[in-house]
């Protein structure tokens, strides 16, 4: 494992962090984490040098924090920097900041959180929590020793990102950044901006929620094949991120022990400035080619779920995107037909709940209608 300095702070973190949002589950139920498998995965990662663990209030329908609390027993808590996030969309008063923080400390079975983030900020949520005195809360919680390093994760526009960076003495921020999302949300510009101000920058969704891990379509594979050094698509995507000096750490949401082992192996090869100009040119071509193929920018994060009607929103979008990425209408038509009626896009009653929760600000209702027209 290689390590990098945490922004202006005086300690180092592993170049790979464990994202606790995609643990293996039982019976396809996101709340039912397969604890036996997941404990092995998390502890294997820590035993092999990972010292950063990222969870959040809503992950696995509230169960990720509870599980992480259990998994970090037996001396593992002391070996890691533990990150979790304030669910800002639930905060209606100043007291609520403490209500959720205290609940999280309890779930995580710890007296303090190392990295405490304001979760998934955008223009609207930032304006709302500023009115509720969030910065006073962060100072106070730090002073009381309940949190060590304040930060924020971000899913909004670049101007709001810069405004937030400049509004407080943050230790770090967390942005969505990958080969596809170079000019999206904070993107490359935000990465460089935050790093220039001394913030550590944590990368989330490095594989676009797994899209960059699936067997690439022919058009993409032929680009990767041009590279002299052969790497898997996952290795290539992670290595491109690690190549950049402004990146502090990559969070990977891993769902099997094999993925944990692979990514730890890749992290041994996470040096800065180690890609050639030729390799960087290939990444640029992959970026443009993929962006032309993907129709709906869903990262399958699941923040919009559960839908009260039972619509499986990320699955519908994934089937729709596959139709374009692989140019395989027949397969997508079959997959859509085989979906249980309640899970299909057509079960949407347009209540709008999902749209307010989507960090990508996707027009979910319209997109579901369009995909149903095409695939039904």
Ligand X SMILES: NC(=O)c1ccc[n+]([C@@H]2O[C@H](COP(=O)([O-])OP(=O)(O)OC[C@H]3O[C@@H](n4cnc5c(N)ncnc54)[C@H](OP(=O)(O)O)[C@@H]3O)[C@@H](O)[C@H]2O)c1
3-state secondary structure of 169: coil
Q: Does 253 bind ligand X (CB under 6 A)?
A: yes
Nearest to 100, CA basis, from 76, 125, 117, 77? 117
Residue choice 7, 87, 151, 359 for contact with ligand X (CB under 6 A): 359
State the number of binding residues for ligand SF4 (CB under 6 A): 27
Q: Is 299 in the site for ligand SF4 (CB under 6 A)?
A: yes
What residues contact residue 15 under an 8 Å CB cut-off, 6+ apart?
A: 1, 2, 3, 4, 242, 249, 250, 267, 270
| Cβ proximity to ligand X, 205 vs 246, nearer residue | 205
Instruction: Please tell me whether residue 249 adopts helix, strand or coil conformation.
Output: strand
Label residue 295 exposed, middle or buried (CB < 10 Å: 0-12, 13-18, 19+). Answer: middle
Among 39, 41, 68, 120, binds ligand X (CB under 6 A): 120
Q: What are phi and psi of 125, to 5 degrees?
A: -70, -35
239 binds, among ligand X, ligand SF4, none (CB under 5 to 8 A by kind): none
Return the residue of 304, 319, 325, 375 that touches ligand SF4, per CB under 6 A.
304
Q: x/- contact string, 311-340, with ligand SF4 (CB under 6 A)? A: x-xx--x-----------------------
Closest CB to ligand SF4 among 17 and 209? 209
Distance CA 234, CA 256 (A): 14
Buried b (16+ CB within 10 A) or exposed e, 146-160: bbbbbbbbbbbbbeb
Smallest distance from ligand SF4 to CB 343, Å: 10
Contacted entry of ligand SF4, ligand X, none for residue 350, CB cut-off 5 to 8 Å set by kind: ligand SF4
Of 350, 356, 373, 376, which one interacts with ligand SF4 (CB under 6 A)? 350
Which of ligand X, ligand SF4, none binds 153 (CB below 5-8 Å, type-dependent)? ligand X
Per CB under 6 A, does 120 bind ligand SF4?
A: no
Q: Are 208 and 250 in contact (CB under 8 A)?
A: no
Restricting to residues 22-51, which ones interact with ligand X according to CB under 6 A? 22
Show the beta-strand stretches assigned E in the chain.
3-5, 12-14, 16-19, 52-54, 81-86, 113-121, 147-154, 172-176, 200-204, 249-253
Positions touching ligand X (CB under 6 A) are: 19-22, 54, 119-120, 153, 155, 174, 204-210, 213, 234, 251-255, 259, 262-263, 299, 301, 359
């Amino acid at each position: 494992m290689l390590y990098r300095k945490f922004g202006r702070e005086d300690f180092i973190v592993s170049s790979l962090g464990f994202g606790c949002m995609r643990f293996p589950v039982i019976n396809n139920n996101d709340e039912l984490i397969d604890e036996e498998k997941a404990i092995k995965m998390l502890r294997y990662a820590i035993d092999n040098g990972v010292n950063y663990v990222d969870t959040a209030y809503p992950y696995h329908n509230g169960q990720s924090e509870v599980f992480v609390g259990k998994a970090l027993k037996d001396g593992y808590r002391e070996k890691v920097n533990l990150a979790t996030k304030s669910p800002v969309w639930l905060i209606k008063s100043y007291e609520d900041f403490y209500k959720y923080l205290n609940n999280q400390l309890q779930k995580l079975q710890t007296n303090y959180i190392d990295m405490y983030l304001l979760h998934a900020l955008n223009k609207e949520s930032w304006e709302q929590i500023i009115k509720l005195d969030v910065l006073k809360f962060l100072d106070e919680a730090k002073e009381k020793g309940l949190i060590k390093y304040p930060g924020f994760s971000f899913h909004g526009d670049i101007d709001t990102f810069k405004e937030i960076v400049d509004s407080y003495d943050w230790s770090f921020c967390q942005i969505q950044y990958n080969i596809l999302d170079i000019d999206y949300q904070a993107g490359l510009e935000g990465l460089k901006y935050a790093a220039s101000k001394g913030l550590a920058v944590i990368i989330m969704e490095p594989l676009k929620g797994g899209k960059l891990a699936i067997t690439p379509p022919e058009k993409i594979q032929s680009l990767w094949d041009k590279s002299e050094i052969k790497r898997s698509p996952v290795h290539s995507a992670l290595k491109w991120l690690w190549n950049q000096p402004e990146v502090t750490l990559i969070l990977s949401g891993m769902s099997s022990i094999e993925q944990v082992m692979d990514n730890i192996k890749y992290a041994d090869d996470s040096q800065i400035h180690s890609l050639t100009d030729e390799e960087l040119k290939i990444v640029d071509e992959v970026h443009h080619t993929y962006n032309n193929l993907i129709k709906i920018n869903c990262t399958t994060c699941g923040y919009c779920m559960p839908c009260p009607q039972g619509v499986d929103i990320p699955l519908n979008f994934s089937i729709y995107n596959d139709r374009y990425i692989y140019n395989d209408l027949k397969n997508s038509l079959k997959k859509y037909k085989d979906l249980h009626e309640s899970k299909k896009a057509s079960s949407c009653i347009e209540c709008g709940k999902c749209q307010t929760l989507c960090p990508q600000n996707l027009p979910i209702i319209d997109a579901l209608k369009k995909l149903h027209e095409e695939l039904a």
